[in-house]
Structure 1
Amino acid sequence: MADKAFASTADTAAKTISFDEIGPGLYAYTAQGDPNSGIIVGDDGCMVIDAQATPAMAGDVIARAREVTDKPIKYVVLTHYHAVRVLGASAYGAQGIIASDATLGLIHERGEQDKASEIGRFPRLFRGEDSIPAGLTWPTLTFDTEMSVFLGKREVKLMHLGAGHTAGDIVAWVPDAGVMFSGDLVEYHSACYCGDALLREWPGTLDNIREFAPRALVPGRGDALQGEAIVREAVAMTRDFVTTLYGAAELSVARGRSLKDTMAATREVMDPKFGSFAIYEHCLPFNVSRAHDEASGIDHPVIWTAERDREMWAALQG
């Protein structure tokens, strides 16, 4: 039997875009498991949450925004450093690109490698790659744990509630509406990508999100969620995904299993629950590799390069 195509290089099917109002002046741009963006409209301007992967793709987010407001896009918020979220930022002409201090550090440490790795893994998500400016996308404003941005009278609280999907994840909270934009800390019927995760810390961060009791939430991937019950479900499903993955790896490492054997053991417990989730097969090898590392005492995620991606993929296909 031929090896499976590397990562998601064979995934070429376009997704259907949805653009939904989830609160007053609050919008979710979602695409059947592809990366989501959010738009917050205030009195004197707008904020975009996660920029998309290329300026060409960001153009569609801008077009949707223009259907509901003519106010300028003043800020772009990067919930974390992954290329698929940030490389479209230049399209918005924003006066500020905001991220956490930790995300800035990760861009310095591994931004170039991440860019090459992600484009190689999932070319469809980088439509219009030639529109990406040379170099990396850099935030112009960073913060440690919390900052407020005011769009006129409307406050948006940006908060680093803890590590999870990466060490630098932030959420955007709109207090007047009780709405949260979680980035990839929460997913809905989509696999969590855990290749750069801090898996032992992630559940505690989810606890912090749950304490806000959001009335609506835009996850990193999957449908926009309206109603406290479905938000709680998404948080619980994300927790189940992360803890099941790490638990399988921790037990395998304790028993001295190889990475390949850990993959098999992880499939036994995860495939029945999560095999139908978007990008599950894409994420699983990277997820098992990171979980095996963390359970082996490698606390700081190893940098993924295009070369490491291919080597890992080949080792797990054999």
Structure 2
Amino acid sequence: MTKAFASQGDLSDKAISFTEVGRDLWAFTAEGDPNTGVIIGDDGVMVVDAQATPRLAAKVVEKIRGVTDKPITHVVLTHYHAVRVLGASAYGAKDVVMGAKARAMVVERGAEDWESEFRRFPRLFQGHEDIPGLTWPTLTFDRAMTVFMGRRRVDLKHLGRAHTAGDIVAFVPDANVMFTGDIVEFHSACYCGDAHFADWPATLAAIRAHDVDAIAPGRGDALAGRAQVNAALDATADFVGSTFRSVARVAQGGGSLREAMAACRAACDPKFGDYAIYEHCLPFNVARAWDEALGIDTPRIWTAERDAAVWAELQG
């Protein structure tokens, strides 16, 4: 019997947590499903990452309304992936903010990513029929942008390539808290299908240099305190490095993609095998690490057809 592709068989709902990570700063988490950040300013609310559909975004809005009645004025999208952006319409925000590179990736591969992710992980697209179309920002920036929400300042920064070429973070200086998107994960596998393995460690180092008191990561529980923050940064770096080194040795030595998968498992299963979405991510991570090891800088576009082809090759 052919093994179910990616997370097609993952149909059970996850328990939602809504955790305060600083004064009027919240992390919406769900056992390894995509997280959403909430920043409450003097005169409005900023949402960081939107969920995959308006129906799922409504769960975030419900939690927000439990702590404030201020209007949601901004939606910030840390990168272009469908599970992060397609629920943006539910918030009714005046401004949708994205890095310029991330917007370019929507143009280049947004439609393909939507179809690919929907087929890989159908549970995350509950209510997909209500998605009005691709999400487009009203504001973009290249390296940095500051948003003032009354007296509260939010610094949006592109610190380097990592999970994608267009990742950004949201840093709230008055609380010393950062929302990192999928650059940092906690007890959840890093999805590396669009990654830049060689650059990711330096981007993590740039986050570490902020010496923050708390992080709301892309997946997994909120991280409170320097010890948890540094442990998550270390584990994310270890995951990325272990994946790339094991695959690169096989790719550069003339082996096969299946041999690279076996090498990756040998390096990563003992350390990360119990992480959320670990099995889901492996095929994409191995394929992208293979390409980068052989000199392909720009990740190839994942389509539903390419997903199936790589899966078939790795399953034999």
Residues matched between the structures, number: 316
What code does the residue aligned with 2:29 have? T
Deviation at 1:270, TM superposition (A): 0.7
The alignment partner of 1:48 has SS state of: strand
Counterpart for residue 311 of structure 1 = 309
Q: 1:212-232 CA deviation, whole Å, 9 max, x = no partner? A: 111010000000010011000
What code does the residue aligned with 1:34 have? D
CA distance in 1, matches of 2:163, 2:110: 16
Counterpart for residue 63 of structure 1 = 62
Q: Do residues 24 (structure 1) and 23 (structure 2) align?
A: yes
Superposition pairs for residues 158-307 of structure 1, below 5 Å?
158-307=156-305
Q: Do residues 43 (structure 1) and 62 (structure 2) align?
A: no
Deviation at 1:277, TM superposition (A): 0.3
What code does the residue aligned with 1:103 have? A
TM-score (norm 2): 0.99
What code does the residue aligned with 1:54 have? T
Q: 1:255-296 CA deviation, whole Å, 9 max, x = no partner? A: 111111111111111111110100000000000000000001
CA distance in 2, matches of 1:43, 1:171: 21
4+ residue runs of structure 1 moved beyond 2 angstroms?
none
Counterpart for residue 7 of structure 2 = 8
Deviation at 1:147, TM superposition (A): 0.5
TM-score (norm 1): 0.99
Deviation at 1:22, TM superposition (A): 1.0
CA distance in 1, matches of 2:204, 2:21: 21
- Which 5+ residue runs of structure 2 have no aligned equivalent? none
Deviation at 1:108, TM superposition (A): 0.5
Q: 1:51-107 CA deviation, whole Å, 9 max, x = no partner? A: 000001100100100000000000000000000000000011101000101001100
Counterpart for residue 71 of structure 2 = 72
CA distance in 1, matches of 2:130, 2:251: 43
What code does the residue aligned with 2:229 have? V
Deviation at 1:254, TM superposition (A): 1.9
CA distance in 1, matches of 2:19, 2:200: 28
The alignment partner of 1:68 has SS state of: coil
What code does the residue aligned with 2:213 have? R
Deviation at 1:131, TM superposition (A): 1.2
What code does the residue aligned with 1:166 have? T
What code does the residue aligned with 1:239 have? A
Deviation at 1:249, TM superposition (A): 1.5
Q: Do residues 157 (structure 1) and 148 (structure 2) align?
A: no
CA distance in 2, matches of 1:13, 1:129: 17
Q: 1:97-122 CA deviation, whole Å, 9 max, x = no partner? A: 00101001100000000000000000
- Which 5+ residue runs of structure 1 have no aligned equivalent? none
179-188 or 253-262, which moves further after superposition? 253-262
Deviation at 1:250, TM superposition (A): 1.4
Q: RMSD over aligned Cα, in angstroms?
A: 0.5
Deviation at 1:3, TM superposition (A): 1.9
The alignment partner of 1:97 has SS state of: strand
| Matched-pair identity in % | 60
CA distance in 2, matches of 1:269, 1:245: 7
CA distance in 2, matches of 1:126, 1:213: 35
Deviation at 1:301, TM superposition (A): 0.0
What code does the residue aligned with 1:226 have? A
What code does the residue aligned with 2:226 have? E
The alignment partner of 1:74 has SS state of: strand
The alignment partner of 2:66 has SS state of: helix
CA distance in 2, matches of 1:240, 1:265: 15
CA distance in 2, matches of 1:142, 1:79: 11
CA distance in 1, matches of 2:300, 2:251: 17
CA distance in 1, matches of 2:126, 2:105: 24
CA distance in 2, matches of 1:3, 1:272: 25
